[in-house]
């Protein structure tokens, strides 16, 4: 079995790290006016024996630079604010670990 889960993301300088089941699939990225926020819907397997993977995402405003190795996934639009939010996935784990603060 599988299910679609909803995650809130922020447009900021830092990355959003999610723990998703291996074999996940991004199905939608949208700005919800009623919740005044950005949300990502991901289809994931439900089997407990499927391991989780750490996945990094970056939300960038239109015109803001992102690294060349970031992989574009989708765009969400704020219908009243006129802003575009662009979702990128950071594929190289070493690249996003270098951006995270030391524990």
Do 6 and 53 contact (CB within 8 A), yes or no?
no
Q: Domain spans of the chain? A: 2-97
In whole angstroms, give the CA distance from residue 85 to residue 64.
Answer: 10
Whether residue 23 is predicted with pLDDT greater than 80 in this model: the reply is: yes
pTM of the model: 0.84
pLDDT band for position 2 (cuts 50, 70, 90): very high
pLDDT tens-digit series, residues 40-94: 999 999 999 999 999 999 999 999 999 999 999 999 999 888 889 999 999 876 5
Return d(Cα 20, Cα 15) in angstroms, integer: 15
HSE (CB half, 13 Å, CA atoms) of 98?
5
């Amino acid at each position: 079995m599988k299910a679609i889960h909803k995650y809130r993301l922020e447009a900021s300088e830092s990355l959003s790290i999610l723990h998703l089941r291996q074999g996940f699939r991004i199905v939608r990225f949208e700005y919800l006016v009623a919740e005044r926020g950005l949300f990502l819907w991901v289809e994931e397997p439900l089997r407990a024996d499927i391991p989780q993977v750490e996945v990094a995402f970056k939300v960038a405003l239109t015109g803001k630079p992102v690294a060349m190795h970031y992989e574009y996934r989708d765009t969400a639009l704020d219908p009243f604010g006129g802003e575009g939010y662009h979702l990128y996935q950071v594929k190289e784990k070493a690249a996003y670990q270098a951006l995270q603060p030391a524990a």
